[in-house]
Amino acid sequence: MRSIRRRLVLLLLGSLLLVWGWTLAYSFRNATHEVNEWENARLVQMARTLMFADVDGLKRLAQEKWGDEDDDGDPESAHLLRFLVRDGKGDVLAGTSGLPSVELAQGAAPQPDNTVQKLTVNGYPWYVYSLHDAKTGRTVQVFQRSDKRGDLAVGVAKRIAQPLAIALPLLALLVWISIGRSLAPLKTTSMHIKARNADNLAPIDMSRAPDEIRPLGDALNSLLLRLSKSIEHERAFTADAAHELKTPLAAIKVQAQVALGATAATERRLAMQKVTQGVDRAARLVDQLLLLARLDEAQTLSISLISLNDGVRASAAAHETDRHRKGITLAIIESMPLMVNGHAEFMGILLDNLIGNAVKYGVQGGHVEIVLTRAAGKPAVIVRDDGPGVQTQDRQRLTDRFYRAMGNEEYGSGLGLSIAERIATLFDASLSFDVGIHGKGLSAKLEFQGG
């Protein structure tokens, strides 16, 4: 059942019917009890009245119907009574017609506590009250069919149920209309959202919305805000990527034209080498762009416990050629094994970017240190060098995509540290920057939350 309106109506009417049914059953039970009490009292009252009546009066009463009238003035058959009066010798002084049987009259002996008896004769239940006067020897018995009492209780229950049965359809209609009017703001809001242009990501106005649907509106606004930021981010990323790709592509085109126009084999070979270098740079930039796109889609990773020491040594070994070419001394300082939760492939990319940056931007004959330690009980990797470093005001922008600090002569796309920070976020780790060795160069600190 998808309709909130129908569900609410059924729940309300179901609850009402449940309460109504319980009330009707409780009222019927009470009505039956009250009817029995009242009818028993009437039997006792009639028996006491007949005890002191004379014989002629008893005979006249025996010829009449004992009963009451209801509110409409019609005879109420449920109240009909019958009686039998005997003298001390057991002879019948007077009795109404229609007594069930002589056996019933004889079996209904006076009770010591003067209670009303319930007897069954010929399959019919009867209430009988017997009263005996020791002085005169007279015995009075008053009779009533018990099913007649049930008819009276049912009548009372019907009078209670009839107004409710008539009111129930009207109540259902009123509930249906009321719920429909209450849900109207939700329908209005959905119509406004449906009428929106696909490019309109402005927040939905929930100032007039009911409190019950405001959390839904707030959630939608939060989603629209995230979607808007994501689209803006993608547009900026696409524009920056197109701009960054122009440089290597333009260089490739120029060198290709030089190669085509060169007459000397040496000049042509040099131009083709530069074309190859340009293609390599463009390919690396495309790989980094694809990696960033992959990281942006990776909300969660398959995390396992990996060795940070092994990852550092493997990444350091991958940069041995570049390190030797620049005469850089690389030292790994580790005092303990560090295990962290991560993804082996992405952890390798993260450490490659940090160590590769230190080697790439380090000075000729400089130093690079990789320290594995615990900072405030948390596993951390610190990669530092003694190169030219980065100005304090530029450090906070190092992880911006396509950002390159001023004064860098080395070729780069400005994506390496952005990729590193994105991977660190997936590992629930933090990446921060400070000055490097002896107050020179740059220091990158990768700190994990546990391990």
Q: Please write the tens of the pLDDT for every residue from 328-365.
A: 999 999 888 999 888 888 888 889 889 988 898 888 99
Confidence bin at 310 (pLDDT 50/70/90): very high
In DSSP terms, 140 is beta-bridged to 85, 131
pLDDT per residue as tens digits for the range 206-220: 777 777 777 888 888
**Whole-angstrom distance, CA of residue 183 vs CA of residue 4:** 9
Residue range 406-412: mean pLDDT, rounded: 57
- Which pLDDT band holds residue 203 (cuts at 50, 70, 90)? confident
Amino acid identity of 38? Answer: W
Other CB atoms within 10 Å distance of the CB of residue 60: 12
E strands, 90-246, are 92-95, 117-121, 124-132, 139-145
Give me the pLDDT at residue 301, please. Answer: 64
DSSP per residue over 426-444, as a string?
A: HTT-EEEEEE-GGG-SEEE
| Closest listed residue to residue 91, CA positions, set 55, 46, 61, 130 | 55
* Amino acid letter, residue 269: R
Q: Can you give the pLDDT at residue 243?
A: 62
pLDDT attached to residue 114: 62
Reference 383, options 287, 311, 288; nearest CA is: 311
Q: How far apart are CA 195 and CA 11, in angstroms?
A: 33
Q: Which of 246, 234, 275 is nearest to 401 (CA)?
A: 234
For residue 95, report the phi and psi dihedrals to the nearest 5 degrees: -165, 145
**Residue holding tokens 């762009």?**
289
Tell me the pLDDT band of 417, cut-offs 50, 70 and 90.
confident
Confidence (pLDDT) at 399: 75
Q: pTM value?
A: 0.48
Q: How many residues in the chain? A: 451
pLDDT at 313: 92
Torsion of CA 390, 279, 421, 326, to 10 degrees: -50
Helices (H), 183-213: 184-194
Q: Which residue has the higher pLDDT, 365 or 246?
A: 365
More confident residue, 314 or 7: 314
Q: Phi first, then psi: what are they for 308, rounded to 5°?
A: -70, -35
Instruction: Tell me the CA distances in angstroms from 145 to 32, 118, 121, one per residue in order.
Output: 15, 9, 11
- Report CA-CA distances (Å) from 215 to 207, 219, 329, 381: 12, 6, 59, 43
Q: Is 16 exposed, middle or buried (0-12, 13-18, 19+ CB in 10 A)?
A: middle
User: Are the CB atoms for 403 and 237 separated by under 8 Å?
Assistant: no
Predicted local distance difference test score (pLDDT) of residue 369: 93
Per-residue buried b or exposed e for 375-399, using 16+ beta carbons within 10 Å of the residue's own CB:
eeebbbbbbbbbbbbbeeeebeebb
Kindly list the structural domains of the chain, giving each domain's residue range(s) and its CATH number in brackets, ordered by start.
4-170 (3.30.450.20), 214-296 (1.10.287.130), 301-447 (3.30.565.10)
**Rg of the chain's alpha carbons, rounded to an integer?**
51
3-state secondary structure 274-306: HHHHHHHHHHHHHHHHHHHHHHHHCCCCCCEEE
Average model confidence (pLDDT) across the chain: 79
Give the rounded distance of the alpha carbon of 387 from its chain centre.
55
